[in-house]
Amino acid sequence: MNRFIKFLVDCAIYSFRGGRLYYSWLGFLLFFMPFWFFGWYQQLSKGLIVTGLHDQVTWGVYLSNFVFLVGVAAAAVTVVFPAYAYERKELKKVAVIGEMLAISAVTMCLLFVIAHMGRPDRLWHIIPGIGIFNWPHSMLTWDVIVLNGYLLLNFYCAFYYLYKKYVGEEPYQSRFFMPVVYVAMVWALSIHTVTAFLLNTMPARPLWFHSIMPIKFISTAFASGPALMIIVFFIIRRYTKLEITDKAIDFMAQVFAWCLGIALFLILSEVVTELYPSTEHSYSLKYLMFGWHGLSKLTPWWWLAIVLMVSTFILVLFPNIRKNHRILPYICGAAFFGIWIEKGMGLVIPGFIPSPIGEFTEYTPSWIEIFISSGNWAFGALMFTLLTKGAIGVITGEVRYGGAEAVDEDIGLSGEEA
- Please give the C-alpha separations between residue 264 and each of 184, 253, 320, 333, in angstroms, as whole numbers: 27, 16, 22, 17
Tell me, yes or no, whether 413 lies in a domain.
no
Per the CB < 8 A criterion, the answer to whether 374 and 39 are in contact is: no
Give the residues across from 295 on adjacent strands.
292
H-helix or E-strand spanning residue 251: helix 246-275
pLDDT of residue 72: 93
CATH number, domain of 178, equals: 1.20.1630.10
- The residue among 239, 220, 143 whose CA lies nearest residue 187 is 143
Chain-centroid distance, C-alpha 46: 29
Tell me, yes or no, whether 414 lies in a domain.
no
78 SS3 class: helix
Tell me, yes or no, whether 332 lies in a domain.
yes
Per the CB < 8 A criterion, the answer to whether 385 and 101 are in contact is: no
Tell me, yes or no, whether 124 lies in a domain.
yes
Looking at the 3D structure of the chain, how many domains does it have? 1
> With b meaning 16 or more CB within 10 Å and e meaning fewer, what string describes 166-176?
beeeebeeeee
CA 342, 347, 348, 354 torsion-angle sign? positive
pLDDT of residue 408: 39
Mean pLDDT of 148-162: 93
Tell me, yes or no, whether 416 lies in a domain.
no
Report d(CA 148, CA 377) in Å as an integer: 19
Which of 174 and 379 is assigned the larger pLDDT? Answer: 379
Least confident of 46-60, 142-156, 343-357, 393-407: 393-407
Report d(CA 300, CA 321) in Å as an integer: 28
pLDDT of residue 27: 96
CA 236, 238, 243, 248 torsion-angle sign? positive
Tell me, yes or no, whether 415 lies in a domain.
no
pTM for this model (two decimals):
0.92
pLDDT of residue 403: 61
Tell me, yes or no, whether 417 lies in a domain.
no
pLDDT of residue 43: 94
Using a 10 angstrom Cβ sphere, with 0-12 exposed, 13-18 middle and 19 or more buried, the burial of residue 152 is middle
Mean pLDDT of 152-156: 94
| Structural domain boundaries, residue 28 | 2-407
pLDDT of residue 90: 84
Tell me, yes or no, whether 125 lies in a domain.
yes
Look at residue 405 and tell me whether its pLDDT is greater than 70.
no
